[in-house]
Amino acid sequence: MRLEVGCRVYHYIFLPVYANHREVSVHCGTCAKNFEPKYFPNIPKMLIAELNKTRYPWYYFIGRGTCIILTVLFIISIVEHFIVSKSTLANSIDSVGKGDVIVYEVENGKKTTLYVTNEERDTMYVRLNSKVVHKYELSEIDTPDNYVKEVIIFTKKKLREMADEGKVLDIYMSATALEFDKSLFEESDN
């Protein structure tokens, strides 16, 4: 006969997550059964109390540790995504050129676009899109017919301020540029 300490371990799939409800039992090697210590009055109560204080094995908490590590990695990846997207947008603002489309938020979550017709140093000449839509319909309004004829002056400094406020969402080269200036898409033989 020997004394054993067991506990209930909760699993998530196959990973042990949490251990509790520690139990001391008397194991019989002959019949391979476990008995409660109350049936053996000659076992000292102090010994049973000490056995109940034993620590749980470290591997019972692998699941909890894995969950904590995955949560921390998830949070880190989200933070890195925002940092990278912000720096990518800042780089895009610096390299805005002829034929680019700037997507920005107008009000109440509605968005529209600006088409850059020309760019000189810190100054951009842009055409406003006359349509305002939700984000999922932006590709539908990015057509040459929707841009107004008047060209207005817009500075990169103002664009950076709008980006810092979270108003500028994206900058990309649009197929609309083909309608306005075909030379942007011609390949040089050099």
Residue 100 sits in the same domain as residue 37: no
* Whether the predicted pLDDT of 171 surpasses 60: yes
The answer to whether residue 101 is domain-embedded is yes
Mean pLDDT in the chain? 78
pLDDT tens profile 11-32 = 777 777 777 777 777 777 778 7
pLDDT of 147 reads: 81
105: Cα within 13 Å, side-chain hemisphere: 11
| Same domain for 54 and 121 | no
180 and 99 share one domain: yes
Residue 78 lies in a domain: no
Q: Within a domain: residue 70? A: no
Domain boundary among 49, 64, 79: 64
Percent of the chain with pLDDT over 90: 6
Q: Quote the CA–CA distance of 131 and 153 in Å, as a whole number.
A: 19
CB atoms within 10 A of CB 152: 12
Q: Which of 44, 64, 84 is the last residue of a domain?
A: 64
- The parent domain of residue 114 ranges over 95-185
The answer to whether residue 171 sits within a structural domain is yes
- Classify residue 87: in a domain, yes or no: no
Categorize the per-residue pLDDT at 188 as very low, low, confident or very high, splitting at 50, 70 and 90: very low
Question: Does residue 107 or residue 124 have the better pLDDT?
Answer: 124
Do residue 108 and residue 40 come from a single domain? Answer: no
Name the band, by pLDDT with cuts 50, 70 and 90, for residue 185.
very low
Q: Would 126 be classed as within a structural domain?
A: yes
Strands (E), the chain: 2-12, 15-28, 33-35, 100-107, 110-120, 123-128, 152-155, 168-173
Number of domains in the chain: 2
> Is 60 in the same domain as 101?
no
End-to-end CA distance of the chain: 91
CA quadruple 168, 173, 174, 178: dihedral sign = positive
Query: 38 pLDDT band (50/70/90 cuts)?
Result: confident
pLDDT of residue 70: 93
Q: Do residues 103 and 174 both lie within one domain?
A: yes
Mean pLDDT, residues 123-147: 78
Same domain? For 110 and 181 the reply is: yes
120 and 172 part of one domain: yes
Distance of alpha carbon 110 from alpha carbon 144, whole angstroms: 20
Q: What is the pTM of this model?
A: 0.52
Binned at pLDDT 50, 70 and 90, residue 39 comes out as confident
* 154 pLDDT tier (thresholds 50, 70, 90): confident
Q: Within this chain, do residues 180 and 106 fall inside the same structural domain, yes or no?
A: yes
Please state, in angstroms and as integers, the Cα–Cα distance from residue 188 to each residue in 119, 141, 183, following that order: 21, 30, 10
Residue 186, pLDDT > 90, answer: no
pLDDT value of position 144: 77
Q: What is the pLDDT of residues 46-86, one digit of tens each?
A: 777 777 777 777 777 788 888 899 999 999 999 988 887 77
**Domain shared by 59 and 100, yes or no:** no
Same domain, 43 and 99: no
180 is a domain residue: yes
Residue 84 lies in a domain: no
Mark whether 99 and 160 lie in a shared domain: yes
